[in-house]
Structure 1
Amino acid sequence: MSVISEENVRGGSSVFKDISADDENLQPTEIESLCMNCFQNGTTRLLLTRIPFFKEVILSSFSCAACGWANTEIQSAGQIQEQGVCYTLRVRTKQDLNREVVKADSATTRIPELDFEIPPFTQKGSLSTVEGLLDRAVSGLEQEQPVRRVCTMMLLL
């Protein structure tokens, strides 16, 4: 994996810009790319940005007009720091599930009240909501369940 750093950019100017709702010049780059669902051409949008108090990231979003499949990812573009940061969010209302979350692929997500944990490197990095994080974990747990049930039944026989 290559890391894009300011030193590697010709001219010394940074390719990473701070996220700002007021910056109209901060536009994603669009490229045509292959849809892995239907194998037609879709559109990938890439944005190199710096999230304040976090780090440099590459935000990518893919959408296919042919089949409607979409995917979003966030990838680290900086060095992994030696020490992590712990953020705690108490979900008290339904609105709290709509809070936006930046989750690195190396992050651990815990819900102690449910004895539930999403270990590091089991999900790709994402820019999502709390509810979206949980939905992704549930989808991962449901994946291949019919096959697992058949295998379990065969072992019991």
Structure 2
Amino acid sequence: MIIMTRPLGRYLLIALFGVAAHASAATLYSFEQLQATSQPQPPPAAIRTALAESEAAKLRDCQQQLGASDEQMASYFTAVKVDLGGATPPALLVLPTKYCYAFIGARAISFWLFLNAPAQPPKLVMSGRREALQVLDSSSHGLPDLAVFYGSKSIQYQYDGERYTSTSE
């Protein structure tokens, strides 16, 4: 046990606790910042196929709005690895790469969060249209809780074993 009797020692101890607390802080993924700074990484083929099916009408609308070829639209989405911590399966955050009103609003950007475990098909566990996603320190059913942000509003989500569901709406 360390006992600090000098004020400087106490301040040092407080600073160390502050650094330790900061190290376990939640991770924030700002969609606009990710689009601007990250090199586009195409999602795996299975995810591209799933999005092409589920978002077909919006993709056609974007293709027309952008005047893009089929080949260009094949790389419309980008995938960003999301650290869910621990022994959880890898996750991919999928975002559009170019402005199109079907997927991007004034500040809100459509997103899809997939679990991408090896030797299994990707599993969509969350989707929406917000500004940012935060991986929280708490967890439910083996995956960390999440929060999404739009302006000053945040909504928290917990994994129910199949999907993330809102705890605050």
- For normalisation by structure 1, the TM-score amounts to 0.32
Structure number with higher helix proportion: 2
TM-score w.r.t. structure 2 length?
Answer: 0.30
